[in-house]
Structure 1
Amino acid sequence: MDSARGLTPSSPARPSRSNRSSRTILRSVLALGLVLACASTASAVKREDFKTCAQSGFCARNRAYADIAKEAPDWVSPFQLTPASVRLRNGIFTADLINTHESTNPSPRPPLALELHLLDNDAVRVRINERDAILPRYDGVQETVLVKPYGFASDVTYELSTDTASGTTTIQYGSQNQNTVKIGSAPFKIEFLVNGVSTVLLNDEGLLRFETLRRKEEEQKQSDDDSDDSDDSKLVDQDSEGESSEIVIEKSELEKKLEENLWEERFKEFTDSKPRGPESFGMDITFSGINHVYGIPEHATSLSLKATRGPDAPYSEPYRLYNLDVFEYEANNPMALYGSVPFMLGHSKNSTAAVFWMNAAETWIDVEKSAEDKSSGLLSWIKGKKTLSTPTTKTHWISESGVLDLFVFLGPTQRDIFRQYSSLVGTTVLPQSFAIAYHQCRWNYNTQQDVAETDAGFDEHDIPYDVLWLDIEHTNGKRYFTWDEPKFPNPTDMQQSLASRGRKMVTIVDPHIKMDSSFYVSKEGGELDVYIKNKDGKSSFDGWCWPGNSQWIDFYNPKARDWWASQFSYDRYQGSTKSLFTWNDMNEPSVFNGPEITIPKDTIHYGDVEHRNVHNLYGTMFHSATAQGLTQRNETQQRPFVLSRAFYAGTQRYGAIWTGDNMATWEHLEYASPMLLTIGLAGIPFSGADVGGFFGNPDAELLTRWYQAGVYYPFFRAHAHVDSKRREPWLFGEPYTTQIREAVRTRYAYLPFWYTLFYETSVDGTPIIRPMFTEFPEDEAVFAMDDQYMVGNALLVKPVSKPGVTRSTVYFAGSEKWFDIKDYSVEQGPGFKEVASPADKIPVYQRAGTILPKRERPRRSSKAMENDPFTLVIALDSEGKATGRIYLDDGETFSYEHGDFILREFEATGGVLSSRDARPASKEVAKVSDFVQRIAALRIERLVFVGSKVALKKVSVGGQELPVECVLAPNGGGHVCTVKEPRVTIGEDFELLFE
């Protein structure tokens, strides 16, 4: 049900965020079992509920440090590498880092430990941690995020050299010996080069700052001693005649900020005890020669990240990564939202690089871009004595706690980076085939009868769908794993009725557990001691969410994860069946009476870990445990389907995510595209945005346009708030019902193509929907383009995101043709063209040189299509060539992991269309299943050749000539030639001649 705040008579009241004083009264109301009605129709986020950088102590301190550096023209980093400590062995470079600002300290802290790991996938890991710290800094993120131990580069793949005069250590590495890392000692900085070209620099601006752990009482004593000795603001100066004079030196406002909110921090009525004191760190990362950077989701902003620092920066606040339940979030804003992935990719015409800042604590990132020198026509960025004549992006990363743990990826291509990154954090789990079809949801389908009528409505109006969702109102008093028996008296029959038509059901399960001794889940959790603890580490944290007083499962406890997974077994989750799947919501976690609507940072997890260290990972841990439960409930190991709202790197291994509680506005439709593209670039390709907008009431035009766009989201779900009017796709009447039907049917027709893309991303991490620059990396016109995108390498999609639009301006990249998927009219690139986008379609074009598999028979669900024949659309390029693939398996089990699948490679060249087995040799099995054998025998019922310069005269297979029909496509699109019943199957090798 999301974080929706509109409440119905069956919903527990939530306190107004502007009136927390009502909390006690409302708690009493909940305790009495009373209900309140409240409708929220506000149209703007309450910013005062969430921190700015100035209100976040560690962010303010590190940003002030950056300002001090910027104001000092001769600023250099105080950190230096100790040359005598340098070692390189077995692919690991180690050295000591000292802070020269502490050299006069009578009790200097131990040096920091620097490590560089040269990995066998050509990436480099950079780690900085305290050596001999008084307490260990949290370093457990890697245990959750990294999928397996990585390999190191062998000794023969790198070369080490040292220039003693400059104090620079150089390492040449990479599979092709193409990469160089230069480590400067005084001041400390690291430069990464690709084929001799500087690409990524660390600490080039000297912003590395490390708040080493210290004892509060010692710091207080040192402060008192300083005050006694010198008053901390006075110096004694002796003139030439020996007379002393007192010089008063006042600390600047920036210097004072470095000492604020160190040991305790307040925000509104909340106090963060910070028992370990300050432990933040920050560092600058420069993308040299690169003026466009992407990533660091989740933010409702543009694909190419806007500047937060520097002249004319559109934003004044840094991008924040801190998973939060942000009610009615704003578009075009760097505020934190539900998910956090600290992955950033930079791209220019000449280079591509990326970094992954592996830290799950609250993190802020400033972005500063080079400005164009209008007088010279060159791009320049000037700071002190430094002048950069090439486009450059400088970023400043700041995290509250943990260790500095950074991966640098130098490609050299984007696909190399996706492969390198996904080899560390994992690829998307291949979903069941139903999961990539259409989902219908609202808060709430209220009764079993409501479910039946809605299901029947789809059949009555011939609109396919695969999944019906139930929000919290299906439960008994917000007790998860239960049913409201008067409303859902026989949930098993309800699910079986849906399953008889090939459909599934999803129910919501959140991480907060209602405090109720009579509720078996609550009671068992207490007995097993699996709840998050208060800061004392003993008593369980008690917060407030939908059920009222609640406790939160501690998923960092292995016992808690296993126990949670067991709740999904059929004997535990009464009324559940094989066709029931799960929605994990509110898992930032959302705590209605907590600071920033989340859990306090000083609460304690298993292993005495403060929540501040792992906050951004909590939702992923929940997602993981739920997926485990859905997997192990079946003997046949059915693939799980779990949707999560909160996410971090690695979430893709467990299921899908969505962009949270968007609004039914044209602006939110517009920003959905860059949000999903960004999330995909950061390694989570199975994502979607609520079609129609969650809050509010879209008019018929907006709803229809959103369906037309949502067809091309990897996760395709319509969803609505409890206070929104019912908007099932037939309720607006004609012509809208027909327009929405045609849009949804288009998704189903292309399901074989979508499933193939999901397979490919499960192998190498390549995004499913892709920014234009990933397919056209040398075309600068597309580097900031986010209002159109590619699905795979084959479909160009341009959503309509403004009212009243019937003509759209589309950029056709490359020099080849593009074919409208409806009538095969043609457009030629490169350049912008105005094309028709009437109410019944948005611009979608197939790229010349591609072959797309389809299933064109309208059915009620994807399950009903599994025996249908296939159509291949062959879009020939200017040389008469095209390629494509299709992947097929049973769509349900993990048998594909053992090679039980079909992967065919199609190629048209030299007048021959061929099909061959493209399975990797490692995936061959002695015997494929009966199911896959049956799929392989399904026929190809139609071949459609598009873009032929002349009508095909003859088509034959196996020496037998086939009938062919050709027509001219509109707009000079050439000939469209159709071959019906070509007498070949989808799983066989064949060669078909055409001329």
Structure 2
Amino acid sequence: MIMAYHTNYFSLDRETFNMKLAISILCAVALVTGVISVDRTIFKTCEQSSFCRRCRNVEPNNSSYELVPATLSTYSDSITVDLVNKNNGHIFVLKVEGIHGDVFHIAIDEKTPLKKRYCVTDALKEPIKLVAVEVVKSNSNELVVKYGQNKAVIHATPFKIDFYRSEMLFVSANARGLFKFEHYRTKANKSNDDVDNEPGAWEEDFNSFHDSKPNGPEAVAMDFTFPQAGVLFGIPEHADSFALKSTSGGDPYRLYNLDVGEFELDNGMALYGSVPVIYGHGTKGTAGVFWMNAAETWVDIYNQDLQKNVSSSGSAAHFMSESGIVDAFILLGETPQNTFKQYTDLTGVAPLPQPAALAFHQSRWNYNDEKDVLNVSKHFDIHDIPMDTMWLDIEYTEEKKYFTWDPQTFPHPLEMIRNLAASGRHLTIIIDPHIKTANNYHVHGDCTKYGYYTKNKDGHDFEGVCWPGNSSYADFFNPVVRKYFADQYLLENFNTTTNDVFIWNDMNEPSVFSGPELTMPKDNLHNTEMGTFEHRAVHNLYGFMQTKATFDGLYRRGNGKYRPFILTRSHFAGSQRYAAIWTGDNTGDWGYLQMSLKTCLTQAVSGFSFCGSDVGGFFKDPSADLFERWHQAGAFQPFFRAHANMSTKRREPWLFPEDSKLVVRDAIRKRYTYLPFWYVMFYEHERFGYPVMRPLLSHYPNDPETFAIDNQYLLADRLLVHPVAQEGATKVDVYFPRHSASGDGDLWYDIDDYTVYDSVGYVGIPVNRNKIPVFQRGGTIVPKKEHVRQASTLMKNDPYTLIVCLDRYQEANGTLYADDEQSFEYRNGKYIYVQIEFKKNVLSSKRIDPSAKFDTQVSIERVVITGLDKAPQSATLSTSSNNVALEVIKNENSYSISKATVNIAEEWKIILNY
């Protein structure tokens, strides 16, 4: 939900203010109802952003910075050395650290700054684990810092750092000489830099807004080259291809959390989240750079085939941030999976969700009242469509006051919630960060009384405009404020909710209809744990801080028993520890369905495995064809929610023609059969740090054809998914990858009929309206539950089916995971995690963690095996207590073994008899 008329509200008299406010709200409603679309003039280009313009205009290969090797100081786990800007004599300090897991950390800050600059700390899941480093070479030309098989070669003049793994150069910092650090200064004591006299250096205007810039110019920038890379990817969130495009001749990619509805496709405009991690991959290996900076950031991309006037080789990225310090982690993979794990080792993973969060969600802005909510829930049952969570947008509140209910439309919320729970379902409600400035609103009273609001540049409570009208914004950077808002979720405070209520944090970029670029002025002030800082230094962390507070509140609401589920729109590196994300206010057009795959794939390798899109599109009314295909695609994406705005036609599945309803029902039911697979993937994501949704290059790194593919993807290493995302399609070209440029590929089995594909390259797969092209890799075992009920919570004790797809060697393996599906007790050893293997005609199950204990009566009910070279006559189930004869039934492309009833906690074998 977004956008409004833009003007500078803060210099207006009250009468004019109220008039502009009315216009803003009318324009906001016009935008979200699809009457108008995104206005590009609201949002800056690089040329209109003075710091981006300055950084981008740095002449390559002419760096003014050089190392002062004589200032070297060595410590057990780091070194420091001075850097000097030859143009003005200002001195900086470079710090290089070794981090466990083949990672280097570099930081550059002023040696004697006028004031402290903001350093991001919250993105990291915990203090980094340093390792011993050794200076193996030190002279006037270079320093060499080494640990294990990794080394950093720091060149003095021109300043550059080369990072090697196993003697292979993977990343070079400042190889293009684009490093820039604008030190703090005063207007009365300007340096000799040309920057002091450039427009926008000391104050800046955009549209009708004025940015006071009390600290003057303070940008930092550095380029990173990836000599081995054939493709660069990462730096979400953008509605663009997975492979990053060259930005030559256009704007850089922008990282600045903004409320952009009906966003444009195939460009690098800023969207709702900013994750400043980038990867370079080629057939010789993978590396990454995590640029830990929460200020507005632009990123230029230089691809190998566009090298002009530079001495460096390889694709490169040029990070340019308005504020902060240079704070970067160099991830020396060297495989894609290792590199992704290095990033999540730093920033964290998504905690294992409840299965209800992985199931199907039904949402709308807005369901009218309690009767409407319960009627929709009932009709899912009438039409035999499973659904786990009903969602409520802002209209459930009393006058847009969060932590309240509208007394006319939702007078009995507890009864409504309990009625949903009786059907095994949950409710999700929205809580945004803007607070209605109404005297009769207890949250506003508390925030005013105790100083909990973000301040404007003059130190007064900041007021802007959002859905409630006049609004102020909580200062979530203050831990006291976070604690206050977390407390609001406790049942003694929000006593009209229960532990069955999930939370949706929206509009938290933050969205300010009356602000510059529809967000908060950069010269606003936040009270952080490190002191008072301008909003410009922390902007991209605002939504992160809200979800951190929400997670704390929900965790304490359930006394640590229940796993919270939170959906957030704004996000930064590390937000995945607290919340799932979606791709924002999209449109019911085919291009947005296609873009959802690319966006979530990029998010997945950037830490956000729990990603999805508004199925059907937030804006406009999708055709029946698009509605069907989007549900089919959503069924194989991590977060699966249908959502729409208030101007669209109601689109519950039974409101479409019967044949369309049946297609959608089949897709949703298919999702539910695979919930055990989703559950084990998310458990392994938390345990091992790998993405759930993966690009093909993750497991086929030596096949260049996979590098830029973003219309199909892998789920773990077991399923290959190619959603149908073209209108009227009767065929899709699925790419079956190879293990090397000239090598063999894997066997792939169609999940519907087990047709096997033994080839590499593109294969045309026929599709009818019911077909979702999904293939299980030969050599894998996938768990399913085939008794689909009205909600996932009711499937907890249902038996499993194992789908065994054999490779060329007649082998396969997989995993199965189970726990109580609600609590964090799995972290205390209360779970079952088993390895299932087929080898030498024996299917066996063995506990991976024998010390883990979880009492369950759930059993294996059925086994399907496909790819056998010869037909077995029978099978024998062997457990510690007995042997049972089993019948093997021949199907067209598989064999099934029914009544293989054995508890999943037991170790067992099924032996095929010939």
Normalised by the length of structure 1, the TM-score is 0.88
Which letter does structure 1 place at the counterpart of 2:129?
G
Indicate conservation of the 8 Å contact 2:171/2:225, yes or no. Answer: yes
Which letter does structure 2 place at the counterpart of 1:207?
L
The alpha-carbon distance between structure 1 residues 26 and 530, as it changes in their structure 2 partners (threshold 3 A), is: closer
From 127, 145, 152, give the equivalent of 1:171: 145
* C-alpha deviation, 1:214, in angstroms: 0.7
Indicate conservation of the 8 Å contact 2:8/2:208, yes or no. Answer: no
Residue 585 of structure 2 corresponds to which residue in structure 1? 661
Q: 1:610-649 alignment to 2 at 5 Å?
A: 610-649=534-573
* C-alpha deviation, 1:684, in angstroms: 1.2
The alpha-carbon distance between structure 1 residues 195 and 690, as it changes in their structure 2 partners (threshold 3 A), is: same
From 494, 500, 503, give the equivalent of 2:425: 503
Matched, 1:530 2:436: no
Work out the CA distance in 1 between the residues paired with 2:498 and 2:37: 40
From 850, 853, 859, give the equivalent of 1:939: 859
* C-alpha deviation, 1:961, in angstroms: 2.5
Residue 161 of structure 1 corresponds to which residue in structure 2? 137
Indicate conservation of the 8 Å contact 2:285/2:336, yes or no. Answer: no
* C-alpha deviation, 1:627, in angstroms: 1.0
Indicate conservation of the 8 Å contact 2:283/2:703, yes or no. Answer: yes
The alpha-carbon distance between structure 1 residues 94 and 803, as it changes in their structure 2 partners (threshold 3 A), is: same
Work out the CA distance in 2 between the residues paired with 1:834 and 1:325: 39
Residue 182 of structure 1 corresponds to which residue in structure 2? 153
Indicate conservation of the 8 Å contact 2:69/2:139, yes or no. Answer: no
Work out the CA distance in 2 between the residues paired with 1:453 and 1:16: 40
Indicate conservation of the 8 Å contact 2:30/2:36, yes or no. Answer: no
Normalised by the length of structure 2, the TM-score is 0.95
Work out the CA distance in 2 between the residues paired with 1:33 and 1:676: 32
Work out the CA distance in 2 between the residues paired with 1:634 and 1:191: 49
Indicate conservation of the 8 Å contact 1:439/1:465, yes or no. Answer: yes
* C-alpha deviation, 1:760, in angstroms: 0.9
The alpha-carbon distance between structure 1 residues 439 and 17, as it changes in their structure 2 partners (threshold 3 A), is: farther
From 452, 455, 478, give the equivalent of 2:400: 478
Which letter does structure 2 place at the counterpart of 1:351?
G
Indicate conservation of the 8 Å contact 2:7/2:208, yes or no. Answer: no
Residue 83 of structure 1 corresponds to which residue in structure 2? 69
Deviation per CA, 1:945-974: give whole Å up to 9, x if none.
0111222223112243210001232xxxxx
Matched, 1:575 2:491: no
Describe the SS at the equivalent of 2:843. strand
Matched, 1:993 2:911: yes
* C-alpha deviation, 1:711, in angstroms: 0.6
Indicate conservation of the 8 Å contact 1:436/1:754, yes or no. Answer: yes
Indicate conservation of the 8 Å contact 1:431/1:655, yes or no. Answer: no
Indicate conservation of the 8 Å contact 1:952/1:966, yes or no. Answer: no
Describe the SS at the equivalent of 2:188. helix
Indicate conservation of the 8 Å contact 1:113/1:129, yes or no. Answer: yes
Work out the CA distance in 1 between the residues paired with 2:319 and 2:30: 41
* C-alpha deviation, 1:43, in angstroms: 6.5
Work out the CA distance in 2 between the residues paired with 1:525 and 1:761: 38
* C-alpha deviation, 1:25, in angstroms: 5.8
Matched, 1:129 2:109: yes
Matched, 1:563 2:481: no
- More displaced stretch, 630-639 vs 122-131: 630-639
Which letter does structure 2 place at the counterpart of 1:911?
N
* C-alpha deviation, 1:757, in angstroms: 0.6
Deviation per CA, 1:722-760: give whole Å up to 9, x if none.
101111112112211111011001110000000111111
Work out the CA distance in 2 between the residues paired with 1:415 and 1:702: 33
Work out the CA distance in 2 between the residues paired with 1:566 and 1:153: 39
The alpha-carbon distance between structure 1 residues 339 and 878, as it changes in their structure 2 partners (threshold 3 A), is: same
From 499, 509, 512, give the equivalent of 1:591: 512
* C-alpha deviation, 1:892, in angstroms: 0.8
* C-alpha deviation, 1:528, in angstroms: 1.6
Indicate conservation of the 8 Å contact 1:44/1:330, yes or no. Answer: no
Describe the SS at the equivalent of 1:217. coil
* C-alpha deviation, 1:485, in angstroms: 1.2
Which letter does structure 2 place at the counterpart of 1:888?
A
Describe the SS at the equivalent of 1:613. helix
Deviation per CA, 1:195-238: give whole Å up to 9, x if none.
22211001111111111111101229x79xxxxxxxxxxxxxxx
Work out the CA distance in 2 between the residues paired with 1:908 and 1:561: 51
From 362, 380, 383, give the equivalent of 2:296: 362
Indicate conservation of the 8 Å contact 2:512/2:519, yes or no. Answer: yes
Q: 1:400-549 alignment to 2 at 5 Å?
A: 400-537=322-459, 539-549=460-470
* C-alpha deviation, 1:34, in angstroms: 11
Residue 983 of structure 1 corresponds to which residue in structure 2? 901
Which letter does structure 1 place at the counterpart of 2:143?
T
- More displaced stretch, 685-694 vs 825-834: 825-834
- More displaced stretch, 909-918 vs 17-26: 17-26
The alpha-carbon distance between structure 1 residues 34 and 437, as it changes in their structure 2 partners (threshold 3 A), is: closer
Work out the CA distance in 1 between the residues paired with 2:262 and 2:197: 34
Matched, 1:317 2:251: yes
Q: 1:184-203 alignment to 2 at 5 Å?
A: 184-203=155-174
Which letter does structure 1 place at the counterpart of 2:290?
F
The alpha-carbon distance between structure 1 residues 906 and 22, as it changes in their structure 2 partners (threshold 3 A), is: farther
Describe the SS at the equivalent of 1:737. helix
* C-alpha deviation, 1:286, in angstroms: 0.4
Count of residues in Structure 1 that have an aligned counterpart in Structure 2: 897
Deviation per CA, 1:884-939: give whole Å up to 9, x if none.
001111111111111111101101111111101112x7xx35xx4xxx312xx312
The alpha-carbon distance between structure 1 residues 729 and 19, as it changes in their structure 2 partners (threshold 3 A), is: farther
* C-alpha deviation, 1:120, in angstroms: 2.1
Which letter does structure 2 place at the counterpart of 1:147?
K
Residue 644 of structure 2 corresponds to which residue in structure 1? 720
Indicate conservation of the 8 Å contact 1:812/1:829, yes or no. Answer: yes
Structure 2: gaps spanning 5 or more residues: 739-744
Work out the CA distance in 2 between the residues paired with 1:300 and 1:18: 29
Describe the SS at the equivalent of 2:223. strand
From 232, 238, 245, give the equivalent of 1:293: 232
From 642, 649, 672, give the equivalent of 2:596: 672
* C-alpha deviation, 1:19, in angstroms: 13
Indicate conservation of the 8 Å contact 1:61/1:260, yes or no. Answer: no
From 767, 781, 786, give the equivalent of 2:705: 781
Residue 764 of structure 1 corresponds to which residue in structure 2? 688
* C-alpha deviation, 1:508, in angstroms: 0.5
Residue 208 of structure 1 corresponds to which residue in structure 2? 179
Indicate conservation of the 8 Å contact 2:234/2:602, yes or no. Answer: yes
Which letter does structure 2 place at the counterpart of 1:585?
D
Deviation per CA, 1:24-50: give whole Å up to 9, x if none.
668359799999975742464210000
* C-alpha deviation, 1:412, in angstroms: 1.6
Work out the CA distance in 1 between the residues paired with 2:338 and 2:325: 27
The alpha-carbon distance between structure 1 residues 267 and 636, as it changes in their structure 2 partners (threshold 3 A), is: closer
Residue 210 of structure 2 corresponds to which residue in structure 1? 271
Work out the CA distance in 2 between the residues paired with 1:412 and 1:16: 47
* C-alpha deviation, 1:581, in angstroms: 1.4
Residue 126 of structure 2 corresponds to which residue in structure 1? 148
The alpha-carbon distance between structure 1 residues 24 and 717, as it changes in their structure 2 partners (threshold 3 A), is: farther
Indicate conservation of the 8 Å contact 1:267/1:595, yes or no. Answer: yes
From 755, 758, 762, give the equivalent of 1:832: 762
Work out the CA distance in 1 between the residues paired with 2:178 and 2:125: 31
Structure 1: gaps spanning 5 or more residues: 6-13, 70-74, 103-107, 224-254, 373-380, 970-975
* C-alpha deviation, 1:806, in angstroms: 1.2
Work out the CA distance in 1 between the residues paired with 2:776 and 2:855: 30
Residue 376 of structure 1 corresponds to which residue in structure 2? none
Work out the CA distance in 1 between the residues paired with 2:901 and 2:626: 44
Identity %: 42
Residue 651 of structure 1 corresponds to which residue in structure 2? 575
The alpha-carbon distance between structure 1 residues 15 and 78, as it changes in their structure 2 partners (threshold 3 A), is: closer
Which letter does structure 1 place at the counterpart of 2:147?
Y
